[in-house]
Amino acid sequence: MINIPKGTKDVLPADSYKWQYVEGVARETAKLFGVKELRTPTFEHTELFSRGVGDTTDIVTKEMYTFKDKGDRSITLKPEGTAGAVRAFIENGLIGGAMPAKMYYITPAFRYERPQAGRLREFHQFGVEIFGAKGAQTDAEAILIADSLLKKLGINVKLYINSIGCPTCRAKYNQALKEFFAPHVEELCYDCKTRYEKNPLRLLDCKEENCKKINASAPKMLDYLCEECATHFETLKTHLQNAGVAYEIDSRIVRGLDYYTRTVFEFVSTSIGAQGTVCAGGRYDGLIEQLGGNPTPAVGFAAGIERLLIVMEQSGVEIPNDDKATVYIAGMDAECRDKAFALASQLRLSGVKAEIDHMERSVKAQFKYADKIGAKYVAVIGGNELADGKANVKNMTTGESESVAFADFVAYFANK
């Protein structure tokens, strides 16, 4: 017996409707904002991520699925969606097209992490990227897309926002952080010692309890913003207020890369503890240039689909399931089952979900099966019904039955 790899999951046929629902709502939401789908490969050249995600991030230093292909190229399974989207944007010349360029993706992502609830090695993201617009209104629009999605899914979350400034004001802040952490270096976790040297901003992102404690009194980026960055942040807040989106400021939210700029945000569910961040994003005005394109401002976010589903489950959201058969047609004997087969084919041509017996079971056993699969109606054809050209149709919710002529089947079930 070969088992599933650690940190991966099957989505079984009985559960896939939940995924289709979340993905469907995500697609509809994107459409409302004029955001179109982009599909990029599952693997890319490793260098795209080392440059596009950043050499000092956990993702690049510890979490990537990297291998040499048979042509001796270094290939990596995508750990996130933004780098591929930027590559496609530059490579396909979209930079010269209609601006801003707005795109979304639904993609698997791969990270070699310690698997736990809401943390997998293969997971899935719905992400949105908007390229070409520099104003805070666009940051607000990105946040609004995520907010509408979460509201439509019935998910209760808190929105936290922060600004990490621009390279100029951040340099001063990094200096202040270094001074603050200097007396604490020995108490920091192993990773944070490196962060202290290479990228002090990332210290604020640490999940270790002890580091979190020290971080609590660290200086705040918002106190170091230059005038332009401060105005940008104020404008964002005004737009969010105008749109009626509640937020809190959390100075610990960072995206510790040089090409991330200004706005960063997270939507956090209070119901799933440590893995509560269902959606995260921000502005990254330096990334497109970093990956070889003309300087182009950009903002985006990604939501983890597994985490969305966990939160929905925990908060008792009822996910509509339209996988269920409208009618199961049961036949008493071989001749009746042949009629059931013909009727079912006719119903499906008219878009009615119809199922029949494939196991040569008794009518009683067919009923049991119909109940198991959640069929809304069961139509029973016995010898008498076959002779009379009609079936006895039972509504499985109310338990009521009535006689329906075969000739009326399509009309009868069309809107059920």
Cβ-contact 35, 133 below 8 angstroms: no
Q: Smallest gap, in angstroms, from Cβ of residue 379 to ligand ATP?
A: 44
**Residue 326, phi then psi, degrees to nearest 5:** -70, -45
Cβ-contact 233, 145 below 8 angstroms: no
Q: Smallest gap, in angstroms, from Cβ of residue 302 to ligand ATP?
A: 4
Q: Smallest gap, in angstroms, from Cβ of residue 411 to ligand ATP?
A: 47
Quick check: 307 binds ligand ATP (CB under 6 A)? yes
**Residue 164, phi then psi, degrees to nearest 5:** -110, 15
Task: CB nearer to ligand ATP: give 124 or 390.
Answer: 124
Task: CB nearer to ligand ATP: give 59 or 386.
Answer: 59
Quick check: 337 binds ligand ATP (CB under 6 A)? no
- Taking the C-alpha atoms of 80, 83, 87 and 90 in order, what is their torsion angle to the nearest 10 degrees? 130
Q: Smallest gap, in angstroms, from Cβ of residue 83 to ligand ATP?
A: 11
Quick check: 94 binds ligand ATP (CB under 6 A)? no
Task: CB nearer to ligand ATP: give 305 or 340.
Answer: 305
Quick check: 158 binds ligand ATP (CB under 6 A)? no
Q: Smallest gap, in angstroms, from Cβ of residue 236 to ligand ATP?
A: 19
Which residue in the shown chain puts its C-beta closest to ligand ATP? Answer: 304
Query: At residue 389, what is the residue type?
Result: G
Quick check: 277 binds ligand ATP (CB under 6 A)? yes
Give the count of residues interacting with ligand ATP (CB under 6 A): 18
Q: CB within 8 A of 18, min separation 6: which ones? A: 309, 312, 319
Cβ-contact 350, 408 below 8 angstroms: no
> What's 154's DSSP letter?
T
Quick check: 120 binds ligand ATP (CB under 6 A)? yes
Query: What distance in Å separates the CA atoms of residue 178 and residue 56, rounded to the nearest whole number?
Result: 17
Q: Which of 111, 170, 283, 339 is close enough to bind ligand ATP by CB under 6 A?
A: 111
Quick check: 280 binds ligand ATP (CB under 6 A)? yes
- Sequential DSSP letters for 224-267: G--HHHHHHHHHHHHHHHHTT---EE-TT----STT-EEEEEEE
Quick check: 296 binds ligand ATP (CB under 6 A)? no
Quick check: 195 binds ligand ATP (CB under 6 A)? no
Kindly state the tokens that stand for 389: 């050209």
Q: Smallest gap, in angstroms, from Cβ of residue 123 to ligand ATP?
A: 3
**Residue 242, phi then psi, degrees to nearest 5:** -60, -35
Q: Smallest gap, in angstroms, from Cβ of residue 290 to ligand ATP?
A: 17
Quick check: 131 binds ligand ATP (CB under 6 A)? no
Q: Which stretch binds ligand ATP (CB under 6 A): 20-28, 83-91, 113-121, 283-291?
A: 113-121
Q: Which stretch binds ligand ATP (CB under 6 A): 116-124, 149-157, 208-216, 324-332?
A: 116-124
Q: Smallest gap, in angstroms, from Cβ of residue 279 to ligand ATP?
A: 6
Query: What distance in Å separates the CA atoms of residue 394 and residue 399, rounded to the nearest whole number?
Result: 6
Q: Which stretch binds ligand ATP (CB under 6 A): 65-73, 257-265, 273-281, 369-377?
A: 273-281
Query: What distance in Å separates the CA atoms of residue 113 and residue 78, rounded to the nearest whole number?
Result: 14
Quick check: 80 binds ligand ATP (CB under 6 A)? yes
Task: CB nearer to ligand ATP: give 202 or 239.
Answer: 202
Taking each helix axis from N to C terminus, what angle separates 16-32 and 136-152, rounded to the nearest 10 degrees?
150
B/e letters for 77-116, b = 16+ CB within 10 Å, e = fewer, are bbbbbbbbbbbbbbeeebbeeeebbbbbbbbebbbbbebe
Query: What distance in Å separates the CA atoms of residue 83 and residue 116, rounded to the nearest whole number?
Result: 26
Q: Smallest gap, in angstroms, from Cβ of residue 269 to ligand ATP?
A: 10
Quick check: 49 binds ligand ATP (CB under 6 A)? no
Quick check: 125 binds ligand ATP (CB under 6 A)? yes
**Residue 378, phi then psi, degrees to nearest 5:** -125, 125
Task: CB nearer to ligand ATP: give 309 or 347.
Answer: 309
Q: Smallest gap, in angstroms, from Cβ of residue 231 to ligand ATP?
A: 26
Query: What distance in Å separates the CA atoms of residue 280 and residue 161, rounded to the nearest whole number?
Result: 10
Q: Which stretch binds ligand ATP (CB under 6 A): 137-145, 271-279, 321-329, 370-378?
A: 271-279
Q: Smallest gap, in angstroms, from Cβ of residue 281 to ligand ATP?
A: 7
> What's 56's DSSP letter?
T
List of residues contacting ligand ATP (CB under 6 A): 80, 111, 113, 118-120, 123, 125, 275, 277-280, 302-304, 306-307
